[in-house]
Amino acid sequence: MCGRFLLDSDIEEIISTYRIFKKEIDSFDKGDYYPSQKAPIVLEKGERSITLAKWGFPYGSKKKLVINGRAETIMDKPMFKNAFYSGRCIIPANLFYEWKDEGNRKKIMHKISLQDSNLISLGGIYKLSIDENSNKQLIFVIITTEADKNMRSIHSRMPLIIKEDMVDIWLKDSTSIQVLKKILKDNKDNDLIIEKGEDEKHQQLKMF
C-alpha cells in the first residue's frame, strides 16, 4: 500500500530527469503528500509534460477516495481499466512511507528510497474528473504490487517502481499489453534504502 510520499526536489531536477518538454506548472509545494492533495505527475500526450493532479479516485455515493490500484486487477476493473490503457503516468517522489504492524495496535513508520537515484518513479494512472464545483481536474492513483524481498518484512504490498530504462515505455500509449504486463510483474530487485522511523498512528485507507 502507498498512502504517503515525500517530494522535496526542485522542479528543474524533475524536468531534467524525465526530459520534460511542456511545463503546465512552474512550481509545487515541497514536502509530504497525502491522499486528496494535488501532486506533480509526469505524463505523455504528444509531448512529455508535468502538471498537478489530485490523489485519489472517488468511489461510491459517499465519494470515498481510492488511492491505490492493484497491479493484479488494474487492467480489468471498470474504475481503472480505461485510465490504465490511455492514462499511465509517473508520480515523482524522493521516498515513500510504509508502516509495519508490530501488534498491540503499534505501527512503526519506515522511509523507503532508492540507493542509486534521488527520485523514485512511482507508477500510476490518471484520468479527467469533475470536481464539486463542476471544474475539470486530473486525478490519479498509485499502482501497488506484491512486496519484493526487501519490503516483505514491513508490508505485503508496495508501490510500483518504474525503473529508469522503462520510463519512456511506461508512458507511451503505443506500448504493447505484453510489455505492460511485464512491467507490472517486474517490481522486484529494487535497490532500496529502508530507514526505520518513529512510532506513528497509521490511517487505514481503502485499497482495491
Active-site residue, 102 included: no
Q: For residue 37, what is its C-alpha cell?
A: 492533495
DSSP 161: B
> Does residue 89 have an active-site annotation?
no
All cell numbers assigned to 201 = 498512528
Nine-digit cell at 60?
461510491
Rounded Cα distance between 152 and 7, Å, is: 24
The residue type at 100: K
Q: Which of 2, 13, 89, 132 is catalytic?
A: 2
Nearest-angstrom CA–CA distance, 115 and 192:
6
∠152-155-158 over CA atoms, to 5°? Answer: 85
Catalytic residue among 44, 98, 132, 200: 98
> Which residues are known catalytic residues?
2, 98
